[in-house]
Chain A
Amino acid sequence: MGTQLVLEKWPAAISTVIIGATKDEGGSRSNIVKIGGQTSLPLLFKEGDLPNKPKIAFEIWDIPPQDWQEELISAYGKAINDPFAWAEKCVNEFKAQLLCVKMQGAHPDSGNKTPQEAAKFISALLNKIKVPLIIIGSGDDTKDNLVMPVVSEAAKKERCSIGCAVQDNYKTLVASVLADGHSIIAESPIDINIAKQLNILISDMGLSLERIVINPTIGALGYGLEYAYSIMERARLAALSGDKTLACPFICFVGQEAWKTKEAKVSVEQGIAWEAITATSLIQSGADILVMRHPKAIQKVSNFIETLYQG
C-alpha cells in the first residue's frame, strides 16, 4: 500500500511587498525587491507557492558606526568612515541588492543631526546608489518624529520601507509613509498580540495591510532566538489560515543582535557563524528580509538561500 502524504492546504497568502521604484514607476532605482507572497510554510515547496526568496539587506549608517566590532569595521575597511563610500562598497564590491540605512546620526547622543541634514543625506544617498532602500530611525522617538517625515519626503516615490513604527509611536510615521508612497515597518516586542494590534492601528489610518512589514524583534542565537522563532511560526500559521492582520512579510534585524553577543567576539569565524546561523534559522520560521552586517556572513547566507531555493 502506498504511503498517503499528509499535505497542508492553506486558504490564505502572505501579502507581497515591493521595495524600490524604477524610473517607469516614478522612482530612480535600478532594481526592485519583492518579498512575501507565500501560500505555504517556509521551504515546503510542495504545498504551495514560495515565489520570492528571502532577501538580505546590508545594514549601513548615516555616520561612521560607533560601537561596531573591530572585525566588522575591518571587513569594510576605510570606506566605513564615509557613509556614501560604505554604501557604494556594499553595492559595487559585495553586490548588495538592498540596503538598510539607519539614521543613527540624528540621535541626540550620536551627533543630533537636524531633520534637514538627515533629509539631505538621504537625497544624496539616493543619487549615489541605485538599489532600493530600507530606512530606519535612530530609536529616539521624539527625534525620529521630527526627522523621519522629512526623510520620507526626501525619498518620495522611491518606494522605500521605513521604520520602525511602534505601538505608542506610529501615527507620525504612518502619515508620512502614506503620503510619500512607501511601506512601513511595524515593530512589536516579541509579542504576536501587539504585532496584530499595531497592524490594525496602522491600517485604521488608511495604510493598507499590504504595505506593512512586521519586525517581530529577534534575539540572536543563544539569546532568545527561540522566542522570535516561535512567534514567527505562530504568526505565519495564523496568517496562512486566514488572519489578514498578520499576513505581512517579516524583517529581522539579525546583524545588530548577533554582533552584540559575547560569542561573536570570541573569533572571526565564530562571529560570522553566529550571524549566519541566526539568519538561516529565522528563514525557517518565515523571515523575508534579513538585515545583516558582516559581508562574509551575508555571502554565506546568500549562497544558502540559493541552495534552498534550487529545490
Chain B
Amino acid sequence: MALSGLDIYKLLPKTNCRQCGFATCLAFAMQLAKKAVAIEKCPFISPEAKMILEAQAQPPIKPIILGNNKSNFEIGNETVMFRHEEKFRNPAGVGFIIDDNLSDAEIKARLKEINQLKFERVGQLLEVNLLALKQNKDAKRFLEATKLVLDNTPLPLMLISSELASLKQAAGIAKDRKPLLYCATKNNFAQIGSIAKEFGLPLVVSAPDFDSLSEITKELNALGVNNLILDTGKKSVTDKIWDLTQLRRQALKKSNRSLGYPGLVIVDKTDPYEEAMEATAYIAKYAGIVLIKGTASWEIISILTLRQNIYTDPQKPLQIESKLYPIGQVNPNSPVLITTNFSLSYFTVLGEVEASKIPAYILSVDTQGMSVLTAWAAEKFNAECITKSLGDHGVKNAIKHKNLIIPGYVAVISGELADKSGFQIIVGPKEAAGIPAFLKNLN
C-alpha cells in the first residue's frame, strides 16, 4: 500500500521553490517515495499532507518494545501473512500469568521455575519473555506482590488489574521496568491512558470486536498514548485465530492504522498439553504475545521450539561456520565425521557424537545451510566440495589416519570421494541416531 512518487507529489505545494534542495517538487517526491529524504525538508508542506506522509512512513504493524533497556523484547513490525512470502520478524512473546493471591513463597517458587526456563537448540538460546501479575485481592496485596515480582525476576512485566487505583500504584513502583498495563476498555480508556502516559508505559486495549478496538485506539492516540497491544477477550480458539488473522489483514492489506498493533492472547487451560497446543496455534497464527500458566520445562520447550521454527527466516536457513570441530578430547587417531553446515544437521550429529562419549572430529562442509540430501542434489555436497573443505580446514594435518565417515544417505559418492580426496571412505548410518552404535563398533 506504499504511496508512489506521483501520489506524494500531489500532496506537495508544487511550487518548485527548491528550498528542500531539489530542483522540483516532483524530484523531492521521488526521493520521499524511496524514503531517502525526510518530509521536514519541505518548509511549506501542509499539516494534513505531513500527517499522511508520516503515517505512510510507519510500519503497518507498530513495533512495540516491552521492558526497559536492560531486559526487553520487541514484537510487531510484521509485514507478511505467510512466512514463505518473506519471513516473520519478531517472535511472539511467551509470558506467564501469576495470581497475587498465591502466598509469597508460592510466588517466589514459581518465579524461580520461570527464570530457569532457558533452552539451547541448534545454537540458539530459547527464552521466555514476560511475567504477568494478576490482581485477585486488594490494592495492598497487589502492591506487595508487584514488589515481590520486581525483586525476583529480571523478565519484563505486565500488570493485570481492573482497579485503576491499584494499577496506578503498582505501575508507579514498577515504572523503571516499563511494565505493560492490562487493560484499556471502552469504559476506562481515558483514566488508564493517563496512567500509561504519565509513566510512559505500553498498554493493552481490550474489546470483543474490531470497531470498538479501533475506536479506543484512536481515542488513546489522541491522548498521546501510542504503544498499544490488542486483545479481543475470551473466545473460542477458532474465533481467536480468526481475530488474529483479521487484525493482521487489516494492518497489511488495508493499512488500517487503528488496528495496526500486535495482538495478545490469554490461554486459559489447566491441562498442559491443551495449553501447549493452543499456545502454539496462536504463535503460528500471528499472536504478538501469548500468556499461559504452565511452567513445566517439557511444555515450554515444545512451545518455544515451535516458535523458533515458525520464525526461522525461510530464505536463510540456520547455518554454522564451516569448520573442523573437535568434539571431546580428540587425538590424531580420532574418527572424522562429515556433515553439512546446516545447523540442524550439524547439531543433530553433534548431539549423537557427544552421546557416544567417543571423541571425534566433525567436519561441517559449507553447503550454504543446505541439509545433506538437499545439498547433495544441488551439487554442494559432492566429492569435489568435500575434498575442497578437507583441504581448507587442514584435516590431513589434524589426524594421522586416512578414514572419513560420510552420511549413509550419500553412500553413492564414496568412490569418487576416495579418488579425489585420497582418503578411505566409510559409509556411516543414514540417521544420526545410529551414530553412537556405529562409532562403538568402528574399531
Which A residues contact B (CB, under 8 angstroms)?
2-6, 43-46, 189, 221-226, 229-230, 233-234, 237, 260, 262-263, 266-267, 269-270, 272-274, 276-277, 280-281, 284, 300-301, 303-304, 307-311
Contact = CB atoms under 8 A, between A and B. Distances in A.
A189 B373 contact: yes
Interface of B: 82-84, 121-122, 210-211, 214, 236-239, 241-242, 245-246, 249-250, 253-254, 256, 259, 272-274, 276-278, 280-281, 284-285, 296, 298-299, 301-303, 305-306, 308-310, 312, 314, 344, 348, 351, 371, 373, 431, 433
A293 to B, nearest CB: 15
Contacts of B312: 226
Contacts of A233: 82-84
A263 B238 contact: no
B274 A303 contact: yes
A260 B431 contact: yes
B212 to A, nearest CB: 9
B242 A3 contact: no
Given A260-B431, A266-B298, A274-B302, A300 B241 contact: no
Given A222-B121, A225-B306, A4 B276 contact: no
The 10 closest A-B pairs by CB, nearest first: A270-B298, A6-B249, A3-B210, A226-B309, A273-B302, A222-B305, A230-B84, A300-B273, A280-B277, A269-B298
User: Among the interface residues B214, B305, B371, B433, which one has the most CB atoms of the partner chain A within 10 A?
Assistant: B305
Contact of B245 (A44, A266, A267, A272): A44
Nearest to A285: B284
Contact of B302 (A226, A262, A277): A277
Nearest to B241: A43
Contact of A3 (B214, B238, B272, B351): B214
Contacts of A222: 121-122, 305, 308-309
Contacts of A309: 238
Given A5-B210, A262-B351, A281-B284, 20 more contacts: A3-B250, A5-B246, A43-B241, A221-B302, A222-B122, A226-B83, A226-B310, A230-B82, A233-B82, A237-B82, A263-B302, A263-B305, A270-B298, A273-B272, A273-B273, A277-B303, A277-B306, A281-B309, A284-B285, A309-B238
A224 B242 CA distance: 26
Contacts of B82: 230, 233-234, 237
Contacts of A45: 238, 242
Q: Is the interface of B mostly helix, strand, loop or mixed?
A: helix
Nearest to A284: B284
17 contacts: A6-B246, A6-B250, A43-B285, A221-B302, A223-B348, A224-B344, A226-B83, A230-B84, A230-B314, A262-B351, A270-B298, A273-B302, A276-B273, A277-B277, A304-B277, A308-B237, A309-B238
B300 to A, nearest CB: 10
A276 B275 CA distance: 12
Contact of B238 (A43, A237, A270): A43
B238 A221 contact: no
B249 A276 contact: no
A222 B274 CA distance: 19
B310 A273 contact: no
Nearest to B245: A44
A309 B239 CA distance: 11
Contacts of A237: 82
A223 B302 CA distance: 12
A95 to B, nearest CB: 18
A277 B273 CA distance: 9
B277 A3 contact: no
Contact of A277 (B276, B351, B431): B276
A273 B274 CA distance: 9
B425 to A, nearest CB: 22
A307 B309 contact: no
B310 A276 contact: no
A202 B254 CA distance: 42
B148 to A, nearest CB: 29
Contacts of B277: 276-277, 280, 300-301, 304
Nearest to B351: A262
Contacts of A277: 276-277, 280, 302-303, 306
A272 B274 CA distance: 12
B80 to A, nearest CB: 11
A258 to B, nearest CB: 11
Contacts of B296: 269
A281 B273 CA distance: 13
Nearest to A300: B273
Contacts of B241: 43-44
A230 B84 CA distance: 6
